[in-house]
């Protein structure tokens, strides 16, 4: 849900001059009433303005900012997640670095033999090993990754706001999206189904700002 410049202007005019009729709003914007009809209908529908017959429009106190906040809580991880790039614990550092380039991502998610989330390896994790001059053709990512249970992840039904909060609070670039599954021993395991990175958050931000 985005608001146009004109809709924002209407809200400002109503805030300052309420109650105000649609004719008066149209006049101050140098537009016709007909042109404003759809904007006023929308602003009333979402609860930012209130219309009282024969009196005019009021501002309800529900700001556009409140609305954006609601919107961010409504967009679910499953609506915006990207494809995860997954390697196994045995993948060598060298192959992991090649995968970073080929897949154009900054973080790889690692799964164990049972194909459950076991770790995360980031650009800097890999750089550290390279700088240390170790044999990148021999060392597996399993040896250097950040591993469970220290992995921060989200689920499909979490909001994009929840994901952004995790990314910010833990100072990381991305989180795996997982589906919780009980294994044959009754223990909860996590299947990787996607990825939310700072890029996904930026995309939502740009979408909201579009006019
Ligand atoms: P970079 O180190 O390339 O800037 P990050 O800031 O994402 O990338 O990673 C910082 C550290 O946090 C790394 O050691 C990485 O393994 C770890 N890390 C990255 N993502 C997660 C995550 N979702 N959960 C837990 N640890 C993570």
How is residue 143 annotated by DSSP? G
Read off the pLDDT of each residue in 121-144 and give the average, rounded to a whole number.
Answer: 95
Read off the pLDDT of each residue in 184-197 and give the average, rounded to a whole number.
Answer: 96
Residue 211 has pLDDT above 60, yes or no: no
144 falls in which pLDDT band (50, 70, 90)? very high
Distance 145 CA to ligand 1 centre (A): 9
Tokens representing residue 24 in the block: 């008066």
pLDDT digits (tens, 9 = 90+) for 158-184: 999 999 999 999 999 999 999 999 999
How many other β-carbons are positioned within 10 Å of the β-carbon of residue 153? 19
Q: Is the CB of 74 under 6 A from ligand 1?
A: no
pLDDT digits (tens, 9 = 90+) for 50-61: 999 889 999 988
pLDDT of residue 68: 81
Residue 1 has pLDDT above 70, yes or no: no
Read off the pLDDT of each residue in 111-137 and give the average, rounded to a whole number.
Answer: 95
- Which residues, 6 or more positions from 188, have their beta carbon under 8 angstroms from its beta carbon? 180, 181, 182
Pocket probe for ligand 1: among 84, 124, 169, the residue whose CB has the most ligand atoms within 8 Å is 124
Three-state SS for 140-179 is EHHHCCEECCCCCCEECCCEHHHHHHHHHHCCCCEEEEEE
pLDDT digits (tens, 9 = 90+) for 63-105: 777 778 888 888 999 999 999 999 999 999 999 999 999 999 9
Residue 134 has pLDDT above 90, yes or no: no
The CA distance from 22 to 57, in Å, is: 7
Distance 108 CA to ligand 1 centre (A): 10
How many other β-carbons are positioned within 10 Å of the β-carbon of residue 185? 6
Q: Is the CB of 127 under 6 A from ligand 1?
A: no
Pocket probe for ligand 1: among 106, 109, 148, 172, the residue whose CB has the most ligand atoms within 8 Å is 172
Mean pLDDT taken over the chain? 93
User: How many residues in the chain?
Assistant: 211
Strand pairing category for 154-155 and 174-182: parallel
How is residue 86 annotated by DSSP? E
Closest CA to 205 of 159, 153, 160: 160
Distance 72 CA to ligand 1 centre (A): 24
Structure-model confidence comparison of residues 211 and 203, the more confident one? 203
Residue listed under structure tokens 């100072």: 171
Q: Is the CB of 151 under 6 A from ligand 1?
A: yes
Give the DSSP per-residue string, 53-83: TTTEEEE-S--HHHHHHHHHHHSBHHHH-B-
């Amino acid at each position: 849900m985005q608001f146009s410049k004109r809709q924002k202007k209407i809200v400002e005019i109503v805030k300052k001059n309420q109650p105000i009729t649609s004719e008066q709003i149209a006049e101050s914007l140098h537009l016709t009433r007909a042109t404003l009809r759809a904007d006023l209908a929308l602003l009333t529908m979402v609860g930012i303005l209130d219309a009282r017959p024969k009196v005019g429009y009021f501002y309800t106190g529900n700001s556009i900012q409140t609305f954006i906040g609601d919107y961010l809580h409504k967009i679910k991880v499953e609506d915006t997640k990207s494809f995860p790039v997954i390697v196994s614990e045995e993948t060598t550092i060298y192959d992991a670095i090649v995968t970073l380039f080929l897949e154009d991502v900054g973080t790889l998610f690692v799964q164990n033999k049972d194909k459950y989330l076991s770790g995360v390896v980031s650009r800097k994790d890999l750089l550290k090993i390279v700088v240390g001059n170790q044999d990148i053709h021999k060392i597996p990512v399993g040896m250097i990754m950040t591993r469970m249970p220290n992995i921060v992840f989200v689920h499909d039904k979490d909001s994009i706001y929840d994901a952004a909060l995790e990314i910010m609070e833990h100072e990381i670039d991305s989180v795996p999206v997982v589906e919780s599954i009980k294994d044959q021993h009754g223990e909860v395991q996590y299947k990787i189904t996607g990825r939310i990175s700072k890029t996904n958050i930026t995309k939502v931000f740009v979408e909201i700002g579009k006019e």
